[in-house]
Chain A
Amino acid sequence: MRPFEYVSPNTRSQAISLLGASRGNAEILAGGTDLLTLMKDDVVAPKRLINIKGINDLHGVSSNAQGFHIGALTTLGDLADDATVRQNYPALAEALAEAASPQIRNLATLGGNLCQRPRCWYFRNGFGLLPKNETGKELVAEGENRYHAILGNEGPAKFVSPSTLVPILVAYGAKIRLEGPKGKRELPLEKFFVIPKNEGEREHDLRPNEIVTEVVIPPASDVRAAHYEIRQKEIFDWPLAVAGVALKMRGSNVQSARIVMGYVAPVPWPSPEAEQALVGQPINKDTAQRAAEAALTNAKPLSHNAYKVQLARVALRRAILKAASGGVS
């Protein structure tokens, strides 16, 4: 392993000042379930590793009128067991229970889950996030793209956003809070993810000297939500499609809807088309199907992943129906 410096700050400001202003020199270590693998595989080689687990106020959860606050260092395991999550955000609880394996959930943090790097096998084999060969040919477009993006893939980024939790968090209207040398900022969670256009750019709107501090989910007592994943193996497998749906009903019709797809694009993919298709409608097989079709109208599959259009559609339709029936599929 390449030598690196290891530091363990106890406060946010220490962590921020240790990060430095340029990308790639320092990496933040939280659960380490992704970063350490990337380092062992020599995909990333930070000169400084900043262990933030000693920063006490990044741990734990709390509730107030704004909603439910989740510290960035809260583990997925603790979050899955949290009574508030189970009671008020059952679709998130389900997504948490399906994430990775129990061993990983016990270490992995929510902040790390949002900042994990794509699972693209070209990236993981060291060919870069926007992999090209010597002649400039895009390796993904020309190669084995069965698990790659079907939306938002017009540029060189063809990977899919890897978090299985983000679609339902975005559907619930979650916000992410960041802190840097110039203070704090808050973004709707979906805005945290960006599509890189040049090699070396990151897929997150996280400046080199910023850290993720917390995620806030607004109250959802009037929301019917559902998370749905399609994967080949029963457990511990990367999904082929993910859907997160949150509906507000007026009577038996949809008043408003948040519909988000995962594993279809380099970023989580909210679908205003599907949302519009549902508003004012009752939920049934036909309306769910129409919304799902609307969401995938603009899909542009690559050479080997046309099947993912169907899978994304099915995941959405099932998630919509599941949300309407109170989260039961």
Chain B
Amino acid sequence: MKKRILALVLLVCVLSAALTGCGGGSKEDSPENRKTANELNVGIAQDLDDSLDPHKAVAAGTKEVMFNVFEGLVKPTPEGDLVPAIAETYTISDDHLTYTFHLRQGVKFHNGDTVTAEDVKYSIQRCADATETGVLQVAAFSAVTKLETPDESTVVITLAEPANEFLSYLTCAVLPADYDRQDTAPVGTGPFRFVSRTAQDSIVLERFDDYWGTPAQLSKVTFKIIENADTIMMSLQSGAVDLFAHLTITQAEQLGEGFTVAEGTMNLVQAMYLNNGEKPFDDVRVRQALCYAVDKQGVIDQAFDGYGSPIGSSMYPAFAKYFDPSLTDYYSHDTARAKALLAEAGYPDGFSMTITVPSNYQPHIDTAQVIAQQLKDIGVTAELQLVEWGTWLSDVYAGRQFQSTVIGVDASNMTARALLERFTSTASNDFINYENAEYDALFAQAQASYDDAVQTAIYKQMERNLTENAANVYIQDMADLVAVRKGLEGVRFYPIYVLDLSALRYAG
């Protein structure tokens, strides 16, 4: 009897396994079959567990994926310009206070609804008020005094004072007004529509056939979450994924025949971010000592085989207009000077510190290892603490419970403000607790000036302020190595951290 029951159980197991295999009637998930079906598997290093709602997402990795799903009135191009998206045309009044947007006719949301001026108003209002839990306030929208919709397809935005970068902020995603499930089933207007997310496993996007512009080439894209660096290589080589961005040089070199490696810039400010609010990093001399002790080029050579551009402040070279190359070598590698500064600050024998690093980002772990090694020379013992991505977001970024962390910080839109505003003392995302009155004043000044040249000059002063006060130990803008299976083309690099899938296609 027992044997029979066992046999029955086994039979059920086998059957269910067989049936799952048939699920969806799809063929085996191989690169060839995906090519035939015009589908693509993309590997990403982290799950999108902050929020799928574009107004709530904080992680660069989340925004990178959802860039394909959402659009604003305008959107960025690979060249760094802004082009009309949901808006077809816009005019800016001579006093730079009134922006009038004429919406493109018949732009559809992924749920089939047509985009109206009301939706645009709702979306901007939502980010301006940020009364809804989790919505991140867009400070630039606080200058908006009036938000009018004279007709179905016109939006008029009136500002209290001229704001140079205001247009860049209108890349802010436009969402349907009466829809409350953005968190789990996001709806936008982008070339791809969101299909599903399986936590810790995958995110599926499909081509949106009613897209207003050039439709995407691929019919379906599956993002596979692969947090382990070793698994990344295996999944590329085994054919589980066709594209993986942000590889290390060691990984890229091992790819072999089947892949091409596209090289761009990561557009991240990679640094050892220091908690300025906590001992011993509340002392500027200690921070400066670390800056002198860390040899950026050494890090790049040691861990990245020389690929990467050293930086000296919270700005990366892709923002050519704002980037100040003279800051890069402000702290030239000088161990003796670092030691003297430490002694002056009361740490003649150095101290112990912890570098918290998200365990799913091998480049940051490697960087931290080299830094820890370099810090030994000035008597500072740095211990690495590897944490999960979710823990990093909650403890380090949101909770500010850390001493130092190696991470790359992105710009959410193409303005210097997107990188620099976070270090003002009132910014909610000032996770390093940087507080500098002069910096705050400069920022206010930058916002008040409409003249582009003046504003750029002030932003450069802000960068200098961060460098002089050694807010962080700035390292580099990493080289972005993207592995693409041979036969795929159309990888485009932007001056911000996004992965644009709309132009990707199988050649031939």
Q: Judge: A and B partners, yes or no.
A: no
Interface of A toward B, CB cutoff 8 Å = none
